[in-house]
Structure 1
Amino acid sequence: MSDGPNGLGTMAGLIEAAFDRISPAAVRLNVISFDPLVDSADIGPDHWNRLIDLIGSQPNDGVVITHGTDTMPFTGAALSFALEGIKTPVILTGSMQPLGVGPHAEENLRFALQMAEQGPPGVWLAFDGKLMCARSLVKYHSIGPSSFRESEVEGWAQRAARLSPRHFLPRRLAILTLSPGICVSAVDSALRELDGAVVRVFGAGTLMHDPELLRTFSAAISRGCRLVAVSSCEAGGLLPGAYAAGAALWESGIENGGKLTPEAALVRLWLELSG
Structure 2
Amino acid sequence: MKRKVLLIYTGGTIGMEKDYETGSLRAFDFGNIFEKMPEMKLMECEVFVHPFAKPLDSSDMGPEEWKIIAHYIQKNYDQYDGFLVLHGTDTMSYTASALSFMLKGLKKPVILTGSQLPIGDLRTDAKENLLTSLYYASLYENDEAVIQEVAIYFEYKLLRGNRTLKYSAEYFDAYASPNYPILGQSGVHLNIIKENLHRDDSDVEFHVDDHISEDVLFWRIFPGMQLSHFKEIPTMKVLILQVFGSGTIFSSEKTRETLQEIRNNGTEIVVVSQCISGGISFGKYENSNIFSKIGAISGKDMTAESAITKAMHLIDNPNYQGSFADHFSKSLCGEISE
User: TM-score, normalized by length of structure 1?
Assistant: 0.91
1:233-260: CA deviations, max 9, x gaps? Answer: 0111011111011111221221111011
Please state how far the C-alpha of 1:3 moved relative to its aligned partner: 4.8
The separation in 2 between residues aligned to 1:266 and 1:216, in whole angstroms, is 22
2:299 aligned residue: 257
CA RMSD in angstroms, aligned pairs only: 2.3
The separation in 2 between residues aligned to 1:97 and 1:6, in whole angstroms, is 18
1:99 aligned residue: 119
Residue 32 of structure 2, aligned match among 17, 24, 27: 17
Q: Which runs of 5+ in 1 are unaligned?
A: none
Please state how far the C-alpha of 1:30 moved relative to its aligned partner: 2.4
The separation in 2 between residues aligned to 1:180 and 1:188, in whole angstroms, is 18
1:178-233: CA deviations, max 9, x gaps? Answer: 0011122323333x242212210110110012333332222222222222101110
The separation in 1 between residues aligned to 2:210 and 2:267, in whole angstroms, is 20
Counterpart contact for 2:147–2:197, Cα < 8 Å: no
Count how many residue pairs are aligned between Structure 1 and Structure 2.
273
Q: Is 2:213 the partner of 1:195?
A: no
The separation in 2 between residues aligned to 1:217 and 1:189, in whole angstroms, is 13
1:158 aligned residue: 199
The separation in 2 between residues aligned to 1:148 and 1:267, in whole angstroms, is 18
The separation in 1 between residues aligned to 2:23 and 2:268, in whole angstroms, is 39
The separation in 1 between residues aligned to 2:198 and 2:73, in whole angstroms, is 21
Counterpart contact for 2:240–2:272, Cα < 8 Å: yes
* Equivalent residues in 2 for 1:195-234, closer than 5 Å: 195-234=237-276
Query: Aligned in 2, Cα 1:221/1:31: closer, same or farther, shift over 3 Å?
Result: same
1:71 aligned residue: 91
Query: Aligned in 2, Cα 1:12/1:209: closer, same or farther, shift over 3 Å?
Result: same
Query: Aligned in 2, Cα 1:8/1:207: closer, same or farther, shift over 3 Å?
Result: farther
2:186 aligned residue: none
* Equivalent residues in 2 for 1:47-66, closer than 5 Å: 47-58=65-76, 59-66=79-86
Moved more, 193-202 or 125-134: 193-202
1:103-131: CA deviations, max 9, x gaps? Answer: 31011000111111115111111111111
1:30 aligned residue: 48
Query: Aligned in 2, Cα 1:7/1:216: closer, same or farther, shift over 3 Å?
Result: farther
Moved more, 160-169 or 95-104: 160-169
Please state how far the C-alpha of 1:269 moved relative to its aligned partner: 0.9
SS of residue paired to 1:212: helix
Please state how far the C-alpha of 1:7 moved relative to its aligned partner: 8.9
SS of residue paired to 1:32: strand
2:62 aligned residue: 44
Q: Which runs of 5+ in 2 are unaligned?
A: 1-15, 140-145, 182-195, 318-338
Query: Aligned in 2, Cα 1:65/1:231: closer, same or farther, shift over 3 Å?
Result: same
1:161-180: CA deviations, max 9, x gaps? Answer: 32332113343212210001
The separation in 2 between residues aligned to 1:57 and 1:30, in whole angstroms, is 14
1:52-102: CA deviations, max 9, x gaps? Answer: 100000121000100011011111111112114311100100011111111
2:171 aligned residue: 144
1:111 aligned residue: 132
1:80 aligned residue: 100
The separation in 2 between residues aligned to 1:259 and 1:6, in whole angstroms, is 46
SS of residue paired to 2:138: helix
Residue 171 of structure 1, aligned match among 193, 206, 214: 214
Which residue identity lines up with residue 64 of structure 2 in the other structure?
D
SS of residue paired to 2:207: coil
Query: Aligned in 2, Cα 1:45/1:6: closer, same or farther, shift over 3 Å?
Result: farther
Moved more, 30-39 or 64-73: 30-39
Moved more, 180-189 or 69-78: 180-189
Query: Aligned in 2, Cα 1:48/1:66: closer, same or farther, shift over 3 Å?
Result: same
1:130 aligned residue: 157
SS of residue paired to 1:24: helix
Q: Is 2:221 the partner of 1:182?
A: no
